[in-house]
Amino acid sequence: MSTPLPAPLVPGQPLTALAPMQDVTDLAFMGVIAHYGAPDFFFTEFFRVHAQSKPEKHILRSIDENATGRPVFAQLIGEDLGHLARTATELIRHDVAGIDLNLGCPAPKVYKKNVGGGLLREPEKIGEILATLRAVVPGRFTVKMRIGFDDTSPLDRVIELVNEHRVDLLTVHGRTVKEMYRSEVHYDVIARAVARAQCPVLANGNVTSAPRAVAVVAETKAAGVMIGRHAIRNPWIFRQCREVFSGQSVTRLTLADVRDYIERLFRATNVPNLAERYHVNKMKKYLNFVGQSVDPTGAFLHDMRRTETEAELFAVCDRHLIADGAASREFAPEPYPGVIARPNCETPNAVADGCSLETITA
Ligand SMILES: Cc1cc2nc3c(=O)[nH]c(=O)nc-3n(C[C@H](O)[C@H](O)[C@H](O)COP(=O)(O)O)c2cc1C
């Protein structure tokens, strides 16, 4: 017997979920997203599972202190059967909507350990992991995968295993591991997964706006969409999806709305004793995405990247988002072409051992 999914915000509409994003989808960020319009489901960034691992305290906070009113799935990354079972057993004592397995992280340091996307090279090992987790998770057990490692050849077998082990929800990011974030998203392959999977499927990858969500659902026949980077850029996106799903037009956003978002995010991400420079640098990682819709030349991004203090950062925000009539200008519904998020500009030597902003360019 499978466990039904948690009730969506609007029954009958396609589902929406905020994608798990390491160093992004923490308690603070989920709270900010919920303020502007929550998705149906949240997912934590991944809990790393290995012999010495204990569920990371800061990730647990996004479950234990979740005040969004929406369910949170806890994501695991690992390959050791015993330790995955141990961690899942521990996590289901918390208020999780379910346990999610990461079969997609493309960072070489991750897949070389044969976890995340690396497992797509070994579908039979995936079968063992699914059997193990299914046996210890009485409630919802979900999987998030890419469409393959080098190519899409493992996809059909992995979907067979997903069906055999009664996975309750499958998210498919329509790129192979080798394609990282650079290629087009293969929505036709997501459609193939939807046709074969017995559980609901969320389509993931480059859902840039609510109208794109409608188009992706139409093309893939998925039960809904999972949105990552474009929810960092536009935290109103889930509310806008609900508007479009119900036949309304999308509420227009202004640069003054964006100024409000940046201030809220700054306050939410502040923690006691956080060095100002560090906090500003953390903000820049989010603003790299936000800046893609502020102006077509990337002028906001250029100036924002050069700030070092809170005062400098908000002076740049005021100049680009409020002054000289900017406040009422439209925040573009889609990213401006050619305005590139470059999250690693501040941290060229950052540890590239996960799926974090340091390892990803959009
Ligand atoms: C900064 C960042 C961190 C990510 N961390 C995770 C993660 O912890 N677990 C995971 O399954 N995927 C992770 N991903 C992948 C996203 O969940 C998603 O599959 C991918 O970004 C494609 O969706 P998008 O085009 O809507 O961003 C991460 C992506 C980004 C940009």
pLDDT tens, 130-184?
Answer: 999 999 999 999 999 999 999 999 999 999 999 999 999 999 999 999 999 989 9
**CATH 3.20.20.70 domain position(s) in the chain:** 15-245
3-state secondary structure of 13: coil
The atom number, within ligand 1, closest to the CA of 19 reads 17
- Is residue 242 within 8 A of residue 13, CB to CB? The reply is yes
pLDDT tens, 41-99?
Answer: 999 999 999 999 999 999 999 999 999 999 999 999 999 999 999 999 999 999 999 99
3-state secondary structure of 330: strand
Residue 354 is predicted with a pLDDT of 61
Residue 5's closest CA among 170, 168, 245, 217?
168
What dotted CATH number matches 15-245?
3.20.20.70
Q: Is the C-beta atom of 39 inside 6 A of ligand 1?
A: no
- Is residue 64 within 8 A of residue 95, CB to CB? The reply is yes
Q: Which helix (H) or strand (E) holds 316?
A: helix 310-321
Average pLDDT, the chain: 94
Q: Is the C-beta atom of 74 inside 6 A of ligand 1?
A: no
Which of 76, 119, 355, 361 gets mutated to test ligand 1 (max ligand atoms within 8 A of its CB)?
355
Q: Per-residue pLDDT for 344 more than 70?
A: no
| List of E strands, the chain | 15-18, 42-43, 47-48, 72-77, 98-103, 141-146, 169-173, 201-204, 224-227
pTM of the entire structure? 0.96
The residue nearest atom 21 of ligand 1, judged by CA position, is 228
Q: Are strands 42-43 and 98-103 parallel, antiparallel or unpaired?
A: unpaired
Q: Per-residue pLDDT for 232 more than 60?
A: yes
The token pair that represents 150 in the structure block: 């080098």
